[in-house]
Chains A and B, each alone.
Chain A
Amino acid sequence: MRIPCPCCGLRDRREFTYYGASVFLDRPAPDAGLEAWDEYLHLRDNPAGVTRDLWYHDPCQSWLEVERNTVTHEVLSTRPVVEARA
C-alpha cells in the first residue's frame, strides 16, 4: 500500500504509523459527560468499504486523515488533520 503524503508525495506504507478512525479528531468538551467520552474513546465502526483514519508520516511528522477502502485497499484521498478539522 502507498499513501500520498501532502508534503512528500506518494510514499510506501512502511513510512507511516497507523492510529485509528479519524473520529478521534472530534474531541468532546471536557464536561461533555461520561457517555460522550466513552463513545469518543471506545466506540468505533468497522466498515467493509470506505473509511477515514489517521496516519502519521514519520519522516515529515504530518498527521493525515486518509480516506481509503478497507476491501480494495484503495487510498481515495489524504489531507492534513489541520485541514480535516477546519
Chain B
Amino acid sequence: MSQSHRIPGKGLLIDRARPVRFTFDGRAHEGFAGDTLASALLANGTRLMGRSFKYHRPRGVMTAGSEEPSALMQIHEGAQQTPNVRATVQEIYEGLEARSQNHLGPLSFDLLAVNDWMAPFLSAGFYYKTFMWPRAFWEKLYEPAIRRAAGLGSLSGRHDEAVYEKAFAHCDLLVIGAGPAGLMAALVAARAGADVILADEEVRMGGRLLADGAEVDGQAGPDWAASVVAELASLPNVRLMTRTTVTGAYDDGTFGALERVSLHRAPGDAPRECFWRIVARRAILAAGALERPIAHPDNDRPGVMLASGLTGQMTRFGVNPGRVVIFSNNDSGLATARSLTAQGIEIAAYVDPRPIPVTEDFPVYAGAEVVGTRGRLGLRDVAVRHKGGISMIEARTLALAGGWNPTLHLTCHLNTRPQWDEKIAAFVPKPGAVPGLEVAGAARGRFSTAACLADGAQVAGEVLADLGLRAPDVPVPGAEDRPYGIAPLWAVDAGGRAWLDFANDVTTKDVKLAAQEGFRSVEHMKRYTTQGMAPDQGKTSNVAALAVLADATGQEIPVTGTTTYRPPFIPVSIAAMGAGGRAEGFAPRRLLTSDARSRAMGAPMIEAGLWSRPSYFPRDGETDWRTACDREVRQVREAVGVADVSTLGKIDVQGADAARFLDFVYTNTMSTLAPGKVRYGLMLREDGFVLDDGTCARLGPEHFLVTTTTAAAGLVMRHMDFVHQAFCGGWDVRMASVTESWAQFCIAGPKAGAVLAALGITADLPFMGCAPVTLGGVAGRLFRISFSGEQGYEIAVPTRYGAALFDRLVEAAHALDGCAYGMEALNVLRVEKGFITHAEIHGRVTADDVGLGKMVSGKKDCIGKAASQRPGLTEAGREQLVGLMPVNQGEVLSAGAHLYNERDPAVREHNQGYVTSVAPSPTLGCWLGLGFLKDGRARHGQVIRLDDGLRGRKVLVEVCDPVFFDPEGGRMRG
C-alpha cells in the first residue's frame, strides 16, 4: 500500500526522508519515522484496525493519544507478544510486527461478527442471566467459550526476557503535562531556580499547541513550545522527561511514572520501559483535558473519531481525513471546522444541536443531530436529522466534539471525588484533593489557550511562594481566548445502538437496562455493564455513561457521582513495576563463605530464608539425596562431619547489666552462667508462646554471645532491641548483630577432637564450654556444643577467613574417614536426637508443649512468663511433643500429616495432633517423626494412625519419647 492519505508538507513529528517498513496482520506497510501505528495505517488508507470486545464490530482509531479506547493491537517481537497496545501510542520501527485482535478468520470477515446480529440477546448481564444452568457447565463449557468469543489480545505464555528498569527521582516541583499550562508553569519555576521535573507522555512537548493550530505571542504554537522547551533543556535545574506518563499519585508527594524508554525501537539492549518513583515537594497537574464523543446510533464505525483525534493525526502526522463531517455541541468543534477548511480539508457538514448562526465557509446544520452512519467496514455516509428530515451525507471521517473532560484522574487517587461544574458540564478537581498537588489549565477547566498559559504561570507562582522561592516576572504571552459555549449533549435519542464505551462495547441501552434492573448506583452500573473496565478505564466514556445513568434514574449528575479513580492512569506492565525482581532479583541472596567450595564439591544448594545452603555433598555413584544423606549421617555417627552453621543468628551483648537483661529475655537464668560456659536458652513472646531457642555463651563477666535459629535471627534482634529500649531504659547494656561478622562451622562425631588436633587446636573443653582459640594467628572462638548428639564443636573465625577454614576442615575430616555434611543430614541427626527447630516452635506452642516447661524459671520475671501461665496454655489436653516410629519399619512418614486414633475417621473432630518433622534414620533403620499429640507425653507406647490426606498415606505409628537416639546423651558429653 502507498501512503496515499497524507497531506503534502504536513506532519510535525514525521520525517519524510526516513521511510519505515512494518507489517500489520502480516501485510507489509510503509510509514515514516515518527509515525505511530495508528497514523501510519491511516496514512495507508487503513481505517479498520480491530474488532470490538463483545459484538466483534469493525473498529478504527478514535484519538491521537493514550486515551485510545478502540485501536488496540498486539505487538509481536520474536516469541514475545504484547496485547492491547494502543496503536495511537506505539511508534513504528523497522520490522515492527503488529496484529489486530479479537477476530476469527480475517479481520475484514470476522466469523464471530455473528455476535453483532445477536446483539438484542447480548445486552448487559446477559451472561449472568443465561448461563446459569446446569451449574457444572459454567467452568467447563460456558466460560471457556465466552472467553474465546469476547476479550482482546493474548499473552505468549512465556517469560518476558526483555530488560525493564526502575528508577527514583526527587525534585522541588513535578509538572505533569507539557501543554501550554505545563510549559508555562515549568518555565516560571525553572527561572526561579526550583529543581523541576517536567514529564509528558508524548514524544514532543507542547500538548494541544501541537494540534490546534493556535498561535502564541504571534508565533505558531509548535514554535513557541519548542522555544520554551529549548530554554528548559538548557537549564541545569530542569529534567525533561518525554514519553513518560505519570501514572499515580501516592502519599507524601510520591508519584509513579512510566517511561517508554525504547518501545519505539526494535528490541535491543536498552530497557523497554522504566518505572519511576518521583518524590516531589510540590506538583502541578497540567494534564489538559480529554475530548468526549457523543453517543449516537452506530457511532463506532472505523472513520468515526474524536475531533481532537482527527486534528492530532493531521497536524502531527499529516494524515488526510478525506471528506469530514463534524458533530459538535461546543465552539471548539466549530473552531476545528474552520481550521480544517482553512487547511484545505473539505467539511461536508458541520452538525450542531445548538441554534448557531449559519454563516460559515462550509455547510452548517444548526439545531441538528447525527442519527446514524453507514459503511460496513468503514464510514461511508452520515445520517443527519435536521428540520424534521434526514439527510445522508457522504464522508470518510466523522469527527465528534462532545466537549471536554479535565484530566483530573491523579487528583482522585487518594480517594477524593471530583466536583461537578455546571458551566462547563464537566467534573473539575476538588482543590486540595492531594496534598502538595495543584492543578492548572484545562485540567481544572480553563479551556482556552490564553487561560491555560495564564493559569500555568499563576499556579507556578503560588507553588514557588510555598517553596520559599520568589517567582520571576515572566510575561504571559497572548493567545486565543475563545469562549467554550457548550450545550451538553450526551446521547442522541434516535433508537439503535449508541456506543459509550468503545473498548468494552457498552451502549446507552446497556446503561438504561442496568438502571431499569436496579443497578442504579454508578458503581453497580459499572460492574453490571463493564462500563469503563477496559484497558482505557473509560477515559473517553465514563462521564457520558453516568450522564446517561443520571437521566435514566432521574437524578442530577452531581448526585449520581463518579466511580472511583484508581492508579494507574494508563496500563502499566507488571514487568516494569517489578523491574529487576525476576528470578535471582526477587530477593537478596546471602552466601556462605563455604559457598564456592560446596558448589565445587557438587552440592545442590537449597534456599533457607535468604541463605543458600548445601543440601548434601554427593560422592561418585550417589545419584539421589537419600544415599548421600544416609552416608553423611553414618559418617558423623561413626567418624566425623563438618558443616557450615554460619547462618545461625549471632548477637553480641555487652555491659554491666547484660546478665540482668538476658535473664529478662530468656526464660531461664543466664546471670548464673560462669564465664567460659555455654547454656541452652529459650525465649518466649510476650503472649507466652515460644519465640526462639539457641545458646548463650558467656565470653567474659560483662560479655555474652547469643545465638538464634537461622529463621528467627532478625526477629530476635528486633525483639531484644524492643525489650531493651522499651523496658530497660537506663540499663548498661548494648547489643549488635554479628551474624555476618563470623563464619562458624560445626565439627561433629567421635573424631571431632582429632579434626581440631589436625588444625593444631588442643581441645580440652568440657561439654558446654567455650574458649578463645588461635588458628594460624587468627583469633577465633571455640564452643563445645552439639546439634547432632555426637561430641561436637563449633569453631568461629572472622568471616574473611571462613573459606580457608572450611577447606582445611573438609580436608582434615576426609583424612579421618569423615565428610562435609549438608542440610539433609543435619536434619536427620537432629530429629534422631529430638532437637526442635522452627518446624516445632512454629508460634503456637508453649515451653511445656515442647517438653521444656522446667526451663521457665520460677524465681524471676521474664518476657512471656505472665501470659504463659494463662489457663488456656496450662490446662490438660494440650498437644505435646512426641516421637513417632512406624510400626512396620519400612513405611514412610510425612510431615504435615495429622494423627488419629487407630479406628477414628480422618475428620477434624477426631484430630489428635499433627506431624512437624520427619527424617529417614540410617541409625535406627526406619523413618522417624516429631509431632504434637494431645496429652502426648502420657501416651508413649500407644499405636496411632498417621493420615496424610494430600499424599494418600496412612501409616500406623508408635508414640515414643522424641529423643530416639542416645537418650542419656553420653555420646555428646563423652
B865 touches A30 (CB 8 A): yes
A19 touches B865 (CB 8 A): no
A82 touches B866 (CB 8 A): no
* Chain A residues with a Cβ under 8 A of chain B: 1-2, 17, 19, 24-25, 27-28, 30-32, 34, 37-38, 41, 54, 56, 58, 61-63, 72-74, 80-82, 85-86
Question: Which residues in B have their C-beta under 8 angstroms from that of A58?
Answer: 718
Contact partner, A56, options B435, B718, B866, B867, Cβ 8 Å: B718
Query: Nearest A residue to B871 by beta-carbon distance?
Result: A34
Contact partner, B726, options A1, A63, A74, Cβ 8 Å: A63
- Bound complex: CA of A28 vs CA of B718, how far in Å? 21
B252 touches A1 (CB 8 A): yes
B722 touches A41 (CB 8 A): no
- Bound complex: CA of A63 vs CA of B729, how far in Å? 12
Contact partner, B727, options A17, A27, A30, Cβ 8 Å: A27
21 A-B Cβ contacts within 8 A? A2-B252, A17-B718, A24-B726, A27-B726, A27-B727, A30-B865, A30-B866, A34-B870, A37-B866, A37-B867, A41-B686, A54-B722, A56-B721, A56-B722, A61-B717, A63-B721, A63-B725, A63-B726, A73-B252, A81-B722, A82-B726
- Bound complex: CA of A54 vs CA of B252, how far in Å? 20
- Interface assignment of B875: CB less than 8 Å from any CB of chain A: no
A30 touches B861 (CB 8 A): yes
Question: Which residues in B have their C-beta under 8 angstroms from that of A81?
Answer: 722, 725-726
Query: A7: shortest Cβ distance to chain B, in Å?
Result: 12
Chain A interface mostly: mixed
Question: Which residues in A have their C-beta under 8 angstroms from that of B251?
Answer: 1, 73
Query: Nearest B residue to A34 by beta-carbon distance?
Result: B870
Interface membership of chain B positions 666-687, coded 1 if the CB is closer than 8 angstroms to chain A and 0 otherwise: 0000000000000000000011
Query: Nearest A residue to B861 by beta-carbon distance?
Result: A30
B861 touches A82 (CB 8 A): no
* Chain B residues with a Cβ under 8 A of chain A: 251-252, 435, 686-687, 717-718, 721-722, 725-727, 729, 861, 865-867, 870-871
- Bound complex: CA of A58 vs CA of B861, how far in Å? 28
Query: A16: shortest Cβ distance to chain B, in Å?
Result: 11
Q: Which 4 A-B pairs have the closest CB atoms?
A: A73-B251, A30-B861, A63-B725, A81-B726
Question: Which residues in B have their C-beta under 8 angstroms from that of A31?
Answer: 866
Contact A61/B721 with A41-B686, A41-B687 known, Cβ cut-off 8 Å? yes
- Bound complex: CA of A34 vs CA of B873, how far in Å? 12
Question: Which residues in B have their C-beta under 8 angstroms from that of A85?
Answer: 726-727, 729
Contact A86/B861 with A41-B686, A61-B721 known, Cβ cut-off 8 Å? no
- Bound complex: CA of A58 vs CA of B718, how far in Å? 8
Query: A73: shortest Cβ distance to chain B, in Å?
Result: 5
- Bound complex: CA of A63 vs CA of B723, how far in Å? 10
Most buried by A among B687, B861, B866, B867: B866
Question: Which residues in B have their C-beta under 8 angstroms from that of A1?
Answer: 251-252
Question: Which residues in A have their C-beta under 8 angstroms from that of B717?
Answer: 61
Query: Nearest B residue to A33 by beta-carbon distance?
Result: B866
A80 touches B861 (CB 8 A): no
A37 touches B722 (CB 8 A): no
Question: Which residues in B have their C-beta under 8 angstroms from that of A27?
Answer: 686, 726-727
- Bound complex: CA of A28 vs CA of B870, how far in Å? 14
A82 touches B729 (CB 8 A): yes
B721 touches A86 (CB 8 A): no
Question: Which residues in A have their C-beta under 8 angstroms from that of B867?
Answer: 37, 41
A63 touches B722 (CB 8 A): yes
A25 touches B866 (CB 8 A): no
Query: B851: shortest Cβ distance to chain A, in Å?
Result: 24
A62 touches B865 (CB 8 A): no
A28 touches B729 (CB 8 A): no
Query: A10: shortest Cβ distance to chain B, in Å?
Result: 9
Query: B872: shortest Cβ distance to chain A, in Å?
Result: 10
- Bound complex: CA of A30 vs CA of B864, how far in Å? 10
A28 touches B866 (CB 8 A): yes
- Bound complex: CA of A86 vs CA of B725, how far in Å? 11
- Bound complex: CA of A25 vs CA of B251, how far in Å? 28
- Bound complex: CA of A38 vs CA of B861, how far in Å? 17
Query: A11: shortest Cβ distance to chain B, in Å?
Result: 12
A37 touches B726 (CB 8 A): no
Given contacts A27-B686, A32-B866, A73-B252, 17 further A-B contacts (CB under 8 A): A1-B251, A1-B252, A2-B252, A25-B726, A30-B865, A30-B866, A38-B870, A41-B686, A41-B687, A41-B867, A56-B721, A61-B717, A62-B725, A74-B435, A81-B725, A82-B725, A82-B729
- Bound complex: CA of A26 vs CA of B867, how far in Å? 15
- Bound complex: CA of A1 vs CA of B250, how far in Å? 8
Query: A35: shortest Cβ distance to chain B, in Å?
Result: 11
Query: A80: shortest Cβ distance to chain B, in Å?
Result: 7
Query: B860: shortest Cβ distance to chain A, in Å?
Result: 9
Question: Which residues in B have their C-beta under 8 angstroms from that of A25?
Answer: 726
- Bound complex: CA of A58 vs CA of B686, how far in Å? 21
Query: A31: shortest Cβ distance to chain B, in Å?
Result: 8
Query: Nearest B residue to A62 by beta-carbon distance?
Result: B725
Question: Which residues in B have their C-beta under 8 angstroms from that of A28?
Answer: 866
- Bound complex: CA of A62 vs CA of B867, how far in Å? 26
Query: B506: shortest Cβ distance to chain A, in Å?
Result: 34
Question: Which residues in B have their C-beta under 8 angstroms from that of A34?
Answer: 870-871
A37 touches B721 (CB 8 A): no
Query: A4: shortest Cβ distance to chain B, in Å?
Result: 11
Contact A19/B727 with A1-B251, A1-B252, A41-B867 known, Cβ cut-off 8 Å? no
